[in-house]
Structure formats: structure tokens, C-alpha cells
Amino acid sequence: MNTPYFIAKRYLFSKKSVHAINFISGISMLGVFVGSAALIIILSVFNGFENMVLSMYNTFTPEIKIEPAEGKSFNPHKAVFTTLKNDPRIINYTEVLQEKALLRYGKRQHIATVKGVSADFLKRKQLDSTLTDGAFTLQKDGINYAVVGSLVQLYLSVNIHDDFQRLDIYTPRKGAVNAINPADEFTVKSIHPMGVFQIQQQFDETVLVSLEFARQLLEEKDNISSIEIYLKTDVSAEAFQKEIAKALGSQYVVKNRIQQNELLYKILNSEKWAIFVILTFVLIIAVFNIVGSLTMLVIDKKKDIVILNSIGAGTSLIQKIFFFEGMMISLIGCISGMAAGLAFCLAQQHFGFIKMSEESFITDAYPIGLNVSDFVLVFLTVTTISIITSGISSRLSIKTLSQMKEQL
């Protein structure tokens, strides 16, 4: 048996002559317990919010997006794209043609993005969950319709239930130069809005139309702006991105979700890590209580230390005893704290007993997202801090060894 570990365990669980030592050790362990549990819970809540926000974005943000490296459009009928479209790993392949346009509804007007999408777009999951009014209909019985973002509806006061008022869309006509009649410089198409969706400002200033309507509006017979791809669940998006980027060459840019929404991911990660750093400082204070606890234990066990040294125990063995003592206090508190945090998170996931404000229309309870990496991170953080504090305490245990011998 490991002698230092055995003695450290005896010291930890045995009754001390000074009851305050037991109390301080318990406080130290409780501090680590609370800090570890708080870290797990807070990180899981941030994961839950992140998953919730990204799930909303993911309806309109594809796993893979292909854009031209130069210019605004490209020809999707090349052999490489035909092969890509038939790739069995792809479950949704949407061709997109979009451009800024002037919108006019009644007497109001606003500049927004008109996004034409191919039929596969309507097969995306959770599309209807973004609707606040109407239906997600872009074509019916050969007639084109539009679905507008909530900000477009707000700026133009769009009433999708008014069958007599249509949305007019103006785009510059190709090749038109200084026409006598300014109206001849624009292509104007009218369309009836059938629904309103709401996600986030980046998307809510968009008008969705069919690809056919967008081609007529923008006078674009063949080219498109981008290709949006969703993959099967068992396909690695990272590996697929690298493969496609290599096949397409430098003429095209292949982006994953993080590259499409870099600012969003940076904000979510920075908030999460800021909270982690703050709670880690609290945890450091809690763990450093171990120094005081072990210092008092050294005073209480000075006779034992002198006896051990007298019968041949070296300074390294005595150091290890108090090092293991500090590590056990920290790790017991850490593991039990993580277990408590896990139990709390599972209960919140299942029962949702901690509610959010009533104004929230997305979820009524705080969301939870459990990641194994968070548990590993918390454990490694506590272990690192514990090694430092226990090392400091164990050195103090032998610093006054000669004085102890003289006193006894």
C-alpha cells in the first residue's frame, strides 16, 4: 500500500484534537463542491442557450455554403456541380440567387435582400417554426408568392391577409444606361406576400421568393449566387468541406457554419469563457482555503511528523502525506460537486422547474446542454489548482521540522 496515501486518508477522516481543523477542512471541501457544481451548471446553461440560438440560425444557415471567390454569381450547371448535387451524402441541395432590391408596399418603401431559392429549400426541417404569420408558400398553381422577414413587415406595414395589395420589387435593369424615362432603368415585379418569418435581424430583412421569380426579377437565366448544402447526420461537415474545397479549386469559397456566422460564434464563446474565468477565480479562492486547513493540520500532527522522521521517514514522504491530503480534499469536493451539477442539469432538462421570464416565446424554462468536454475542463481546472495549493502546503509541513524536534 502507498504509505503517504494511507496516512493522508487516516488524517482526513480521523477526528482531530482541535475541532476547528475538521470544520476548516469541511469548509474547504464545501467551497470546491459549490464551485465545481456552479461551473458545470453555468456552462451547461450557456450550452443550452447556444444550442437554442444556433438551432434557429441553422434553418437558414446551411452546413456548407459555396460562393464564388470573385464576383457575385457563377454557373451551377458545370459537371462538378452536377456530380455534387447527386452526392448521396447530401440531403438538401438549394440553389440561391439573391440581390439587394427596393421594396414598395402601398406608400412605404424599404431596401432589403431578395433571396430566390430552389424547391429543396422548402424541405428543410423546422422551417414552419420560424413563421409568425401565414404559410411558407413560394409557389402554388403556377403562381409565385413571397415570404417576408419580420423587419420587412414592420418597415412596410405588410398585411399578408390583404389580397388586393401586392409587394412591388425594383431592381436595376441590366444594360440600362441613362434612359429618358428613369422607370425604364428598373425591372419591376409584383408579388403577393403569403407569410412572415422571424429569426434574427440578419435574416429578418429578407424577402424569400422562388428561384424562378428571382431569375425573372434579376434577368439572370443561368447563374446563381450560392449553393446551400445540408448533409446526412453521419457525415462529417469538416471532412466534406475540405473535400469539396479541393475539388472546386480556388475559384470558389466553401464555408461551414462558423465561417458564415463568425461574429455570432465569437459572441457566444466570449460570453461563456468570461463566465468561466470569473467562476474559476471564485474556485481558486475556495481551493486556497486548503492551505490554511493543512497548516493547522501540520500543527496538530507535529508529534506524528517528528516520530515519522525519527523512524526513518524522509522529508519527501512527509511532504507527500500532506500533498495527498490536500488533493483528496479538492478532488472529493470536485467530483461530488460535478455529480451534483450533473443531477441538477438532468432534473432541469427533464422537469424544467426553473422558469424564464413569461415574455420569452422560444422556451419557458432555462435550456440545458451537457457536454463531456465541460466536465473534463472543470476537473482539469480543479486538479491544476489543487496541485499548486497542495504543493505549497506540503512544503510548509517540513519547513519547520527542525523547530518541531527542538520543541519536543
Q: Residue 98: pLDDT above 90?
A: yes
Write the Ramachandran bin of 219: left for phi over 0, alpha for psi from -120 to 50, otherwise beta: left
Stretch 150-155: mean pLDDT, rounded?
Answer: 94
Q: Residue 267: pLDDT above 90?
A: no
Q: Residue 231: pLDDT above 70?
A: yes
Stretch 100-127: mean pLDDT, rounded?
Answer: 91
pLDDT at 190: 94
Tell me: the pLDDT tens digits for 130-152? 889 999 999 998 899 999 999 99
Q: Residue 403: pLDDT above 50?
A: yes
pLDDT at 303: 66
Mean pLDDT over each residue of the chain, to the nearest integer: 83
Read off the C-alpha cell for 10.
Answer: 487516516
pLDDT at 163: 86
Q: Residue 338: pLDDT above 80?
A: yes
Closest CA to 156 of 203, 106, 86: 106
Q: Residue 287: pLDDT above 80?
A: no
Domain boundaries, the chain: 3-57+265-407, 65-257
Contact 12, 293 (CB under 8 A): no
Question: ∠ at Cα 273 (269, 279), nearest 5°?
Answer: 150
pLDDT at 241: 93
> What's the CA gap between 326 and 15, in Å, rounded?
17
Residue 156 pLDDT level (bands cut at 50, 70, 90): very high
Stretch 11-29: mean pLDDT, rounded?
Answer: 62
pLDDT at 331: 87
Tell me: the pLDDT tens digits for 300-332? 666 666 666 666 656 667 777 777 777 888 888
pLDDT at 102: 93
Q: What percent of the chain is modeled with pLDDT above 90?
A: 38
pLDDT at 14: 59
pLDDT at 252: 93
Q: Residue 396: pLDDT above 60?
A: yes
pLDDT at 50: 81
Q: Which of 156-170, 266-280, 360-374 has the highest mean pLDDT?
A: 156-170
> What's the CA gap between 198 and 57, in Å, rounded?
11
pLDDT at 111: 94
Residue 18 pLDDT level (bands cut at 50, 70, 90): very low
Residue 3 pLDDT level (bands cut at 50, 70, 90): low
pLDDT at 91: 93
pLDDT at 362: 60
397 compared with 286, residue with greater pLDDT: 286
Contact 95, 223 (CB under 8 A): no
Question: ∠ at Cα 116 (120, 266), nearest 5°?
Answer: 85
Closest CA to 172 of 229, 111, 257: 111
Contact 333, 38 (CB under 8 A): no
pLDDT at 66: 94
For 300-341, the three-class secondary structure string (H helix, E strand, C coil) is HCHHHHHHHHHCCCCHHHHHHHHHHHHHHHHHHHHHHHHHHH
389 compared with 176, residue with greater pLDDT: 389
Stretch 229-240: mean pLDDT, rounded?
Answer: 91
pLDDT at 259: 85
pLDDT at 8: 62
